[in-house]
Amino acid sequence: MEFSSNLLQNAVNEVAQLPGIGKRTALRLVLHLLQQPPKHTKQLSQSLVELRNNIKFCSSCHNISDSTICEICANPMRDKKIICVVEDVRDVLAIESTGIFKGTYHVLGGKISPIDGIGPNELNIDSLVEKVKSGSVDEIILAMGSTMEGDTTNFYIYKQIKNFKIVMSTIARGISVGDELEYADEITLGRSIANRVPFDISFKL
């Protein structure tokens, strides 16, 4: 693709680096921005810069936040004794969209994947174990995607905290094997949370 403007080409190349965006889609997006009033592009660029410079991670659950403690953890109406363990922020958003879960979360920041060089030490597992050790948790819901890496991560966490007196459950397999949570529809995901099963039973099935 040959461009008549280096400025246009640079913008398209940057947008094309986003996940799922090819050069043609990037070009359409950039041309769309050029057709909008300048203030719209300025607002977009400012919001992205502010996001990058000011975003924080919750010191309790590691979710994206505007402050030290995210709004979910700070909400007095949430059940702090029930923790749903997820891979990343997208899974929190997916589960929240169901309106079913009223506990809190723990974002691991990934999943165990030796082929990608990601081991337990690269994830937020130690802080989860510390929460369990503190005695303030009644139930851990393992809500990783039903992939090999997700199951490996679930089992590793299970081994770390199985000796503590808490309930350990996993989402029901309304989520197909190999699926990621963020792509599940709200009804299926909501039922999977509501109909969760004990973890030690799930991996024996």
Q: Indicate which CATH number applies to the domain containing 24.
A: 1.10.8.420
Per-residue confidence at 199, pLDDT binned at 50, 70, 90? low
Per-residue confidence at 111, pLDDT binned at 50, 70, 90? very high
- Range in 19-28, 60-69, 118-127, 195-204 the model is least confident about: 195-204
Q: Look at residue 1 and tell me if it is in a domain.
A: no
Could you tell me if 134 and 175 lie in one domain? yes
Could you tell me if 32 and 130 lie in one domain? no
Could you tell me if 25 and 118 lie in one domain? no
**183 CA to centre of own chain:** 12
Could you tell me if 113 and 160 lie in one domain? yes
Could you tell me if 197 and 104 lie in one domain? yes
89, 108 Cβ separation under 8 angstroms: no
| Pairing relationship of beta strands 197-198 and 139-142 according to DSSP bridges | unpaired
Burial (CB count <10 Å: 0-12, 13-18, 19+), residue 74: middle
pLDDT above 80 (res 60): yes
- Name the percent of the chain lying above pLDDT 90: 65
Burial (CB count <10 Å: 0-12, 13-18, 19+), residue 83: buried
Choose between 205 and 68: higher pLDDT.
68
- Domain limits at 124? 69-202
Could you tell me if 27 and 107 lie in one domain? no
pLDDT of residue 85: 96
pLDDT above 80 (res 178): no
Number of domains in the chain: 2
124-152 mean pLDDT: 91
Q: Look at residue 179 and tell me if it is in a domain.
A: yes
Nearest to 195 by CA among 163, 173, 164, 168: 173
Per-residue confidence at 59, pLDDT binned at 50, 70, 90? very high
pLDDT of residue 177: 44
Distance CA 203, CA 170 (A): 10
Could you tell me if 120 and 195 lie in one domain? yes
Could you tell me if 37 and 87 lie in one domain? no
Per-residue confidence at 98, pLDDT binned at 50, 70, 90? confident
Distance CA 99, CA 90 (A): 15
Could you tell me if 173 and 118 lie in one domain? yes
pLDDT of residue 63: 96
Could you tell me if 42 and 90 lie in one domain? no
The CATH number linked to 181 is: 3.40.1360.10
44, 33 Cβ separation under 8 angstroms: yes
Could you tell me if 83 and 144 lie in one domain? yes
169-177 mean pLDDT: 63
pLDDT above 80 (res 122): yes
Could you tell me if 104 and 130 lie in one domain? yes
